[in-house]
Chain A
Amino acid sequence: MMELFVFVVAAAMVLGGAVGVIVRNHPVHAALSLILTLFGVAVLFVAQQANFLAAVQVIVYAGAIVVLFLFVIMLLGVDRAENLRVEPFKVQRPIAAAVGVGVFGLVVAAVVVSREARTAVTGTGLEVPAPGGGQLHDGNIKALARDLFSSHVLAFELTSVLLVIAVVGTVMLARKPRKGEMQESEA
């Protein structure tokens, strides 16, 4: 009963925020709607006992990425409504429609398939038994860390390399070309 209630509220947050991102004209309002969606997802994670994922969701997405969005919106002064009639890239709307229908179909297929699957046993999964019996208070996090830094350590390190490359690339793009270089490119 309680779980259903939490699910309905969180799902309403997720969907309301998602619709808001598309419908609101103002970029800042759209970004705020996105935060609502991210919080809804975090609540759903907590309801599934994925506490760590919920915290990371809020810290990384709501706390860092959307803050960055807002920063860009405020500093670049693009906080005004876009004219939707102008389409810079002609084929994108048909493609978007096709992708939308495709994703919807996939979600429906996933739900249909999962109805036939065995029902999962509730309360197992990531919970780790403590040495003295009972459940470890933060076993979930410890299991996650062990998995991430042992069997997936290569992917983890590669991701950090990717991020460093992205930062270096941004710095290179943002750098003003030197006077000598400018003349060469013009000539």
Chain B
Amino acid sequence: MLALDQLLDHIKLWSTEFLIVLIKVLVVFVVGLVGTMLMVWFERKVISYMQNRIGPDKAGPKGLLQTLADGIKLFFKEDLIPDRSDRFVFILAPYLAFVPAFLVWSVIPLGGDFSNGKDGTVIILGHATKLQLADPPIGVLLLLALSSIAIYGIMLAGWSSGSKYPLLGSVRASAQMVSYEAALGLALATVILVAGTLSTNGIVVAQSSLSRWHVIATGVVPFVIFLIAATAELNRPPFDLVEAEQELVGGFNTEYSSIRFALFYLAEFMNTITMSGVIVTLFFGGPQPIRFSGVNITLGFLGPFAGTVLFLLKVLVFLYMYVWFRATLPRMRYDQLMNLGWKLLIPLALGWFMLLAAFRVGQDNNWNRALVGVICLVVLGAAAWLLSYATKVSARNRDREGAMF
């Protein structure tokens, strides 16, 4: 009915197909939670080493169970609901932040057999299926939808706390997320343009060799824009103005305690993992083997797990990068953040998208590539000059008339 999975077409209760889908749901859920737990440990440990500290090392081997201990502590803490809060929204908000973080996992291809141009279908218990929970035709649009829903959690959490610092934090957060969503969507559009499909599985299938990985096929710029916009979307350093301790006490979640706070914390780290997974899926071929001019790293000795292991390795690189960002980059100022988003990333993403589209049309109609390139550069140059001239004029007017707000 929903075109999510070929197994679901004629499904009966308690048949083998039903069990496979059930197992997939359980695996995605459990791996998501355990992965988040490990991610918290990974981040604390790596950032400790970067700062010449040891980090958590008491609970479990190498401090691996520290997150579990923290989680149990949070469970048993007193659950406070502030007097001036809006009770219903205050209780609702953590779930609005947490559920979208989980749902993104369902459309990411987590493994499968992509060697020699196969489409990632594997045989489990005699049924052909893909190693992803759902493969809806709208694929990546679901990612955009969920990331726009995630704003509600943060926005309503700050507002319903009935206190001014959380409100300031949440207004900052939602303004930032709404602003960067445009750049994120435009960078995503270039990937869709090159892959020719919205389905996440189709996007992975399209990246069959290293030169076809979208990071190269779209010309690196959309990847850089996507990475920056995704970091801003996650509210991670250097874009963590939401939780600027020095100015806002703790940010939108100041008034939360106990399990509700844990849900926000969990959502934040889970979003980091899912966003890394999304980047790998869109730009780095997901579970595709690494293949270029004769070299072919398929990790074939791992059998059916090769795709999953490749995917996890690629994700790990980005998780490390996020921790690295946090350890090295200072936080941006609010006006710098907005200028970067609106005046640089969005025009650049739009221009690059038009450039790729023009080349695409040129290819279809057998136009001269060099000519198309020159015309595009002239048009884009003129547009860039207009934009910078407009910002200059508006800055001069602002100086003369004083700030509007």
B189 CB to closest chain A CB, in angstroms?
12
A152 CB to closest chain B CB, in angstroms?
19
Per the bound structure, the CA–CA distance linking A47 and B197 in Å amounts to 22
Per the bound structure, the CA–CA distance linking A2 and B167 in Å amounts to 42
Contact of B144 with A by CB under 8 A: yes
Name the B residues within 8 Å of A52 (CB-CB). 137-138, 141
Per the bound structure, the CA–CA distance linking A98 and B402 in Å amounts to 49
Question: Contact mask B196-228 → A, CB, 8 Å, 1/0?
Answer: 011100100000000000000000000000000
Question: Contact mask B133-171 → A, CB, 8 Å, 1/0?
Answer: 001111001101100110110011001000000010001
Q: Which of B137, B156, B167, B198 has the most CB of A within 10 A?
A: B137
Beyond A2-B1, A3-B1, whether A62 also contacts B138 by CB under 8 A is no
Are A138 and B1 in contact, with the CB atoms below 8 A? no
Q: How many residues of A contact B (CB 8 A)?
A: 35
Name the A residues within 8 Å of B142 (CB-CB). 55
Beyond A47-B1, A174-B404, whether A55 also contacts B138 by CB under 8 A is yes
Per the bound structure, the CA–CA distance linking A51 and B137 in Å amounts to 7
Are A141 and B404 in contact, with the CB atoms below 8 A? no
Residue of A nearest to B167 (CB): A74
Are B199 and A137 in contact, with the CB atoms below 8 A? yes
Name the B residues within 8 Å of A70 (CB-CB). 152, 155-156, 159, 174
Are A59 and B3 in contact, with the CB atoms below 8 A? no
List 19 additional A-B contacts (Cβ < 8 Å) besides A63-B148, A67-B152.
Answer: A3-B1, A28-B86, A28-B156, A32-B89, A51-B3, A56-B141, A58-B145, A59-B145, A59-B148, A62-B145, A67-B148, A70-B155, A70-B159, A74-B167, A137-B202, A138-B138, A138-B198, A174-B404, A176-B404
In the assembled complex, 5 residue pairs joining A and B whose CB atoms fall closer than 8 Å, in A order, are A49-B3, A52-B137, A59-B148, A67-B174, A70-B174
Residues of A within 8 A of B (CB): 2-3, 26, 28-29, 32, 35, 46-47, 49, 51-52, 54-56, 58-59, 62-64, 67, 70-71, 74-75, 79, 137-138, 140-141, 174-176, 178-179
Residues of B within 8 A of A (CB): 1-3, 86, 88-89, 92, 135-138, 141-142, 144-145, 148-149, 151-152, 155-156, 159, 167, 171, 174-175, 178, 181, 197-199, 202, 401-402, 404
